């Protein structure tokens, strides 16, 4: 063996030693807390092997405001504005769920007109929230802001109607124990009529723009798949659960505010991937408009607020009331000790619990897919951290 | 419409499988905390209970004891059951974890651990979730930041019901010390000469 052979062998050994570990050394990447795809202050610690996600661990709490502790020091009525700030993209649904829980504690009957108004605003809120969810989801898929701003147009008109009715656009504080704060203003119903007339064409435009879009299919089809069994076991709810094919919607399963009077379908997906979640939200917007049509046509007359004492002291007991918020099952668990403030105030946050399976959805996909998956779950960080 | 699953029926179902693991108190089903996992497995897998969906998991501090509250739902039969477990050790409460039965219990148990300090034995990743490691105390306990002089957290009454905040009697107008209508300036204002107080 010559010296040059020795040198060559030594070099080969060095190269093998250098490359042996390459590709197997995992890299930890922090997504967030300040990252546009996290829709708030949310940090995801991703362990990567090349582009492939090996582990995903979430770190939350950046927006923790200890709502549940604060609520123990405030009266039942004073807590309603807090619920706006829990899920600030669906304040009406949060108001509604909390008021239903207090009404269950107090045993109050809500007048029919108040119930219809509540359904109207809960469904308008769903249209607005899904516009935000779908718009930002497509943003995460790479269609930079054009579809988002088309959908924001629709959301803007809903927020205008909120402003017209209660003076606020995001943190509405509109529902009250026993009804709603104000009756509908005169110009609301004509505005809503125009909105209902315009929306089918807008939705048809979005569908023409997006449903056949090859890039959207490539980014979202088969990404972040979860099986129905796993979804149920992980307590997922809302569009994330329905995209797996489970037709579980609290408006049908446990009707509140007279939802049993209205006719609507529960759209479900087939494959449980990101694209199905997007499709379910698109279909739900159409169903919400269908419900709104029926509410406007059958809006009863009468009082909009029940005769409830301002200083309510419920009997000792507990209540768990829930609604189908745009993100899933939103519940409020209240315990009363007979005092003026809740002894225990707990919000069951769909955004947090829908993240239970985020790790399982992300592992094995690429980093870019993990961002699309997170976008398709539609989280609101204010609700995760409370 | 979601019905309530009868607590007596649920207790009978659990007690048939595990004798003495369940009892009914005031209409609620209480499970023995040492045999909680097996008892909930019976409720989850039993054909007539079918409680496959863990809606909600939270805890309440009753000062002498804790109660961990589970809301279990059947999607096919459409009924809901409230299950409770009572923890008498207020200093160091612990309960078996349900993460083996429900994947959805992971985050909710961590939240309860973070805010109440209830340990869930068998949880794979029991860390603080909203607050940081080493945060002093557990905020949702009633004795967190207890004030001296028997001042308790919470709202004891409506503000107008206490004597010092009583509504003013008719005809009197309450005036604050610095109210502009006060006849004389407040006495504790220092006299000044130029920049110097004299």
Nearest to A248 among B58, B75, B156 (CB): B75
pTM: 0.83
Nearest to A331 among B56, B60, B111 (CB): B56
What is the pLDDT at residue A112?
92
What is the pLDDT at residue A279?
92
User: CA-CA distance, A314 to A341, in Å (whole number)?
Assistant: 9
Closest-CA residue to A175 (of A105, A288, A93): A93
Per residue in A259-301, pLDDT (tens digit) is 989 999 999 988 889 999 999 999 999 999 999 999 999 999 8
**B71 with A233: Cβ contact below 8 A:** no
Fold held by A65-385: Cytochrome-c3 Hydrogenase; chain B (1.10.645)
- Its ipTM equals 0.82
User: CA-CA distance, A178 to B159, in Å (whole number)?
Assistant: 22
A242 and chain B: CB distance < 8 Å anywhere?
Answer: no
**Chain A interface disruption, residue of B158, B159, B160, B162, most A CBs within 10 A:** B158
Q: Are B101 and B37 in contact (CB under 8 A)?
A: yes
What is the pLDDT at residue B187?
46
Question: Which CATH number belongs to the domain containing residue B72 in this structure?
Answer: 3.30.460.80
pLDDT of residue A238 exceeding 70, the answer is yes
Residues 44-83 of A with CB under 8 A from B: 60-61, 64, 66, 68-69, 72-75
pLDDT of residue A128 exceeding 90, the answer is yes
3 state DSSP class of B160: helix
Distance from CA of B185 to the nearest CA of A (A): 36
Structural domains in chain B (count): 1
Q: Which tops the pLDDT comparison, A55 or B143?
A: A55
Per residue in B38-60, pLDDT (tens digit) is 889 888 887 788 889 999 999 99
Nearest to B56 among A333, A335, A341 (CB): A333
CB-CB neighbors (< 8 A) of B1 in chain A: 254-255, 260
Per residue in B158-187, pLDDT (tens digit) is 666 666 555 444 444 444 444 555 455 444
Longest dimension (CA), chain A: 104
CB-CB neighbors (< 8 A) of A352 in chain B: 107, 111
**With helix as H, strand as E and coil as C, how does chain A read?**
CCHHHHHHHHHHHHHHHHHHCCCCCCEEEEECCECHHHCCECEEEEEEECCEEEEEEEECCCCCCCHHHHHCCCCCCCCHHHHHHHCCCCHHHHHHHHHHHHHHHHCCCCCHHHHHHHHHHHHHHHHHHHHHHHHHHHHHHCCCCHHHHHHHHHHHHHHHHHHHHHCCCCCCCCEECCEECCCCCCCHHHHHHHHHHHHHHHHHHHHHHHCCCHHHHHHHCCCCCCCHHHHHHCCCCCHHHHCCCCCCCHHHHCCCCCHHHCCCCCCCCCCCCHHHHHHHHHHHHHHHHHHHHHHHHCCCCCCCECCCCCCCCCCCEEEEEEEEECCEEEEEEEEECCCCCCCEEEEECHHHHHHHHHHHHHCCCEHHHHHHHHHHHCCCHHHHHC
**B154 with A73: Cβ contact below 8 A:** yes
Q: Are A32 and A38 in contact (CB under 8 A)?
A: yes
Q: State the average pLDDT for chain B.
A: 78
Domain that holds residue B64: 3-157
Q: Look at residue B175 and tell me if it is in a domain.
A: no
User: CA-CA distance, A353 to B53, in Å (whole number)?
Assistant: 12
A268 and chain B: CB distance < 8 Å anywhere?
Answer: no
Nearest to B52 among A232, A254, A357 (CB): A232
Residue of B nearest to A381 (CA): B130
B153 and chain A: CB distance < 8 Å anywhere?
Answer: yes
CB-CB neighbors (< 8 A) of B71 in chain A: 320, 331, 333
Distance from CA of A260 to the nearest CA of B (A): 9
**Chain B interface disruption, residue of A72, A248, A353, most B CBs within 10 A:** A353
Q: Look at residue B196 and tell me if it is in a domain.
A: no
**B130 with A60: Cβ contact below 8 A:** yes
**A232 with B53: Cβ contact below 8 A:** yes
Q: Starting from the edge strand earliest in sequence, which strands make up the sheet with A317-325, in order? A: A317-325, A328-336, A344-348
What is the pLDDT at residue A368?
85
**A235 with B75: Cβ contact below 8 A:** no
List chain A domain ranges. 65-385
A90 Cβ contact list (under 8 Å, min separation 6): A125, A126, A129, A325, A326, A327, A330, A380
Per residue in A159-217, pLDDT (tens digit) is 999 999 988 888 888 998 988 988 899 999 999 999 999 999 999 988 888 888 888 88
pLDDT of residue B86 exceeding 70, the answer is yes
Nearest to A341 among B78, B82, B155 (CB): B155
Q: Look at residue B147 and tell me if it is in a domain.
A: yes
What is the pLDDT at residue A141?
84
Nearest to A61 among B82, B102, B129 (CB): B129
Nearest to B56 among A233, A320, A341 (CB): A320
What is the pLDDT at residue B176?
45
Q: Are B92 and B98 in contact (CB under 8 A)?
A: no
A352 and chain B: CB distance < 8 Å anywhere?
Answer: yes
**Chain B interface disruption, residue of A45, A86, A235, most B CBs within 10 A:** A235
pLDDT of residue A74 exceeding 90, the answer is no
Ramachandran assignment for B149, one of left (phi > 0), alpha (psi -120 to 50 degrees), beta (any other): left
């Amino acid at each position: 063996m010559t010296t040059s052979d020795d040198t060559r062998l030594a070099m080969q050994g060095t190269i093998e030693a250098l490359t042996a570990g390459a590709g197997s050394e995992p890299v930890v990447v922090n997504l967030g807390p300040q990252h546009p795809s996290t829709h708030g202050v949310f940090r995801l610690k991703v362990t990567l092997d090349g582009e492939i996600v090996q582990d995903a661990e979430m770190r939350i709490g950046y927006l923790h405001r200890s709502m549940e502790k604060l609520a123990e020091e405030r009266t039942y009525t004073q807590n309603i504005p807090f619920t706006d700030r829990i899920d600030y993209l669906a304040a009406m649904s949060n108001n509604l769920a909390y008021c239903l829980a207090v009404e269950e504690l107090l045993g109050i009957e809500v007048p029919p007109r108040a119930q219809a108004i509540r359904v109207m605003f809960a469904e308008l809120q769903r249209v607005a929230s899904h516009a935000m969810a779908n718009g930002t989801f497509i943003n995460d898929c790479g269609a930079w802001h054009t579809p988002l701003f088309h959908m924001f147009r629709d959301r803007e008109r809903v927020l205008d109607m909120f402003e017209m009715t209660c003076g606020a656009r995001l943190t509405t504080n509109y529902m009250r124990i026993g009804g709603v704060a104000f009756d509908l203003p005169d110009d609301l119903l004509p505005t809503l009529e125009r909105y209902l007339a315009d929306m089918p064409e807008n939705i048809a435009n979005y569908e023409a723009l997006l449903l056949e879009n090859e890039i959207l299919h490539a980014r979202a089809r088969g990404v972040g798949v979860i099986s129905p069994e796993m979804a149920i076991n992980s307590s997922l709810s809302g569009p994330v659960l329905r995209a797996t094919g489970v037709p579980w919607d609290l408006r049908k399963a446990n009707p509140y505010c007279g939802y049993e009077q209205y006719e609507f379908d529960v759209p479900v997906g087939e494959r449980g991937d990101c694209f199905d979640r997007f499709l379910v939200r698109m279909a739900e917007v159409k169903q919400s408009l269908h419900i709104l049509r029926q509410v406007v046509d059958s809006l009863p007359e009468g009082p909009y607020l029940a005769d409830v004492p301002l200083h309510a002291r419920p009997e000792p007991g507990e209540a768990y009331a829930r609604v189908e918020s745009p993100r899933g099952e939103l519940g409020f668990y209240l315990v009363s000790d007979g005092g003026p403030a809740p002894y225990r105030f707990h919000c069951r946050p769909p955004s947090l619990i829908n993240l239970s399976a985020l790790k399982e959805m992300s592992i094995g996909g690429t980093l870019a897919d993990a961002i699309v998956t997170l976008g398709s779950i539609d989280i609101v960080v204010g609700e995760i951290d409370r | 419409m979601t019905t309530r699953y009868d607590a007596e029926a649920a207790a009978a179902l659990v007690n048939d499988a595990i004798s003495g693991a369940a009892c009914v108190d005031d209409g609620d089903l209480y499970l023995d905390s040492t045999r909680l996992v097996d008892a909930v497995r019976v409720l989850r897998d039993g054909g007539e209970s079918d409680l496959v969906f863990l809606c909600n998991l939270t805890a309440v501090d009753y000062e002498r004891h804790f109660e961990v509250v589970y809301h279990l739902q059947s999607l096919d039969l459409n009924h809901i059951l409230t299950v409770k477990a009572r923890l008498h050790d207020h200093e160091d409460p612990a309960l078996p974890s349900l993460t083996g039965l429900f994947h959805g219990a992971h985050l909710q148990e961590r939240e309860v651990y973070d805010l109440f300090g209830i340990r869930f034995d068998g949880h794979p990743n029991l860390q603080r979730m909203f607050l940081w490691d080493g945060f002093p105390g557990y905020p949702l306990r009633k004795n967190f930041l207890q004030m001296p002089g028997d001042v308790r957290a919470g709202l004891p009454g409506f503000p107008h019901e206490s004597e010092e905040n009583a509504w003013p009697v008719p005809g009197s107008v309450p005036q604050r010390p610095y109210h502009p209508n006060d006849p004389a300036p407040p006495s504790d204002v220092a006299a000044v000469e130029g920049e110097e107080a004299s």
